[in-house]
Structure formats: structure tokens, C-alpha cells
Amino acid sequence: MTARQRLTLVRGLHTAIYLVMAFATFVVLYAGATGAHGVWLWVATGLIGAESVVFAASGMRCPLTAVVARYDAGASGISDTFLPERLTRHTLQVFGPLVALGFGLLAVRWVTF
């Protein structure tokens, strides 16, 4: 497998993970806002927990970004996903508060209901 193929594979994997984690964030937020619960909430909670551990262990940076940089060798400066960089640039600043809000709403629901 060439370096270009590896780069495409890692970018594709990173894009898929990004989309799944965005969905998991909105599952938690939705559950917190509506009181919905079930298997999807537990899966989303587990995914967010695992991602939080990975981010914390990597110095609050996605480890796949470093992998993309290694295969890209910094030559083209392409994004680390197939999504537009302006969409992914502030991921932590956008999704962090949404996750916190979702879990906060869940906590309030579990305590008051």
C-alpha cells in the first residue's frame, strides 16, 4: 500500500469517526432534552467516554491528525478528514459544550424524575 493510499484510508477512517462522534453527541443532547433513553444512549455515552479518554491521553489532540500529518509529510497541507476544515477546525470548542450540556440535562432529569 502506498503512502497516498494509507493517507486516504486514515482520512476516511477519521471522517467516519468524526461523523459517528457528532451523532453520539446529538444523541446525548437529545436524550437530555427529551428524556429519551435506551441502548442508543448507552452506546453514545460509551463512545463519548472512550473518545474523551483518547483525547485526554493525547494532550487534547486527536491522534489521527498526527498520523495524517506523517503520511502527508506536510507537503500539501490537506485536511485530516474529508470534511471541510472550517467545519472541523473548532470541533472541541463546539462539541465539548454540547456534550457537557447533554450530560448536564441528563443529570438533572435523573435527579428530578
Q: In this predicted model, what pLDDT tens digit does every residue of 11-47 receive, in sequence order?
A: 999 999 999 999 999 999 999 999 999 999 999 999 9
Report the domain count for the chain: 1
Q: How many residues does the chain have?
A: 113
Q: Is the pLDDT of residue 113 over 80?
A: no
Give 83 or 46, the one with higher predicted confidence.
Answer: 46
**CB within 8 Å of 98: residues ≥ 6 apart:** 25, 26, 29
The neighbour count for residue 51, using CB atoms within 10 Å, is: 18
pLDDT of residue 3: 82
DSSP per residue over 51-111, as a string? HHHHHHHTTSS-HHHHHHHHHHTTSS---SSSS-HHHHTTHHHHHHHHHHHHHHHHHHHHH
pLDDT category of residue 76 using cuts at 50, 70 and 90: low
Q: Name the amino acid, one letter, at 38.
A: G
Q: State which residues form the domain around 7.
A: 3-112
Alpha-carbon span 22 to 30, nearest angstrom:
12
